[in-house]
Amino acid sequence: MAGLMGAGGGCRTGGLAAGTDSAKRSRSTGPPVKQVVQVFAQKPWLNLDAAGDRDPEGVAFRVFLDTGTGSGVLRDGTLHAEMYRISKDAKGQLARSLVSDWHYPTADVPTIAQPGRLGQGYFLHLRWASKEIAGDEVEIITRFEDPQGQSIRSTTKRLRIPRYPN
């Protein structure tokens, strides 16, 4: 899936029409997912608050499910995303603590398509609301769970959330 790792921008689409037989077939049949790939823009942060400060309250990124072909596919199932704060404990050891987690059926997530390069995937828009994590280092992990309960997770992506002066 090397082609997905160095990916640029994609186009956002409305996804497949959920009520059609071909849409159901294309999402539920085919080889199992072997790899989950997260693709982040250089500045993935979302400013979503009404207060008007510049600190982010969310993150957006793309997720591709690879069946071993190097191209993303759409599948029925659930996307689970977890965000952990990275800090040091009293002994100076790295510590991880869960800050937010999200769970979305793939049918409810906007899809993206990049024919020939990345294939099809999902566009996650995750909001953490009023958490005080600006300036912190975080790790984001996405996991795909199919309808039979089999799951596969992405590699861990470490990012520093920006903090802007008031």
**pLDDT for residue 4:** 37
Residue 38: inside a domain: yes
Q: Name which of 75, 135, 129 is nearest 102 in CA terms.
A: 129
Q: Is residue 56 part of a domain?
A: yes
Q: Which two tokens stand for residue 72?
A: 């993303």
For residues 37 and 72, the answer to whether their CB atoms sit within 8 Å is yes
Give pLDDT, residue 166. 67
Both tokens assigned to 68: 């071993």
The whole-number pLDDT of residue 52 equals 72
pLDDT of residue 51: 65
8 Å CB contact between 60 and 126:
yes
> What is the torsion angle, in degrees rounded to the nearest 10, for the CA atoms of residue 11, residue 56, residue 43 and residue 135?
-160
Higher pLDDT, 92 or 12: 92
Name the nearest CA neighbour of 106 among 133, 132, 75, 152.
75
pLDDT in tens, 96-130: 999 999 999 999 999 999 777 789 999 999 998 77
| Domain presence at residue 18 | yes
Number of domains into which the chain is organized: 1
* 165 in any annotated domain: no
How much is the pTM?
0.80
User: In whole angstroms, what is the distance from residue 143 CA to residue 141 CA?
Assistant: 7
Confidence category of residue 50, pLDDT binned at 50, 70, 90: low
Domain assignment present for 166: no
Torsion 116-119-123-124 (CA) sign:
negative
Give CA–CA dist 4/1, Å, rounded.
6
Residue 6: inside a domain, yes or no?
yes
Residue type, 166: N
Higher pLDDT, 102 or 26: 102
Q: Which domain holds residue 105?
A: 2-160
- The verdict on residue 25 lying in a domain is yes
Residue 57 in any domain: the answer is yes
Q: How confident is the model at residue 158 (pLDDT cuts 50, 70, 90)?
A: very high
- Read off the CATH number of the domain in which 88 is found: 2.60.40.2550
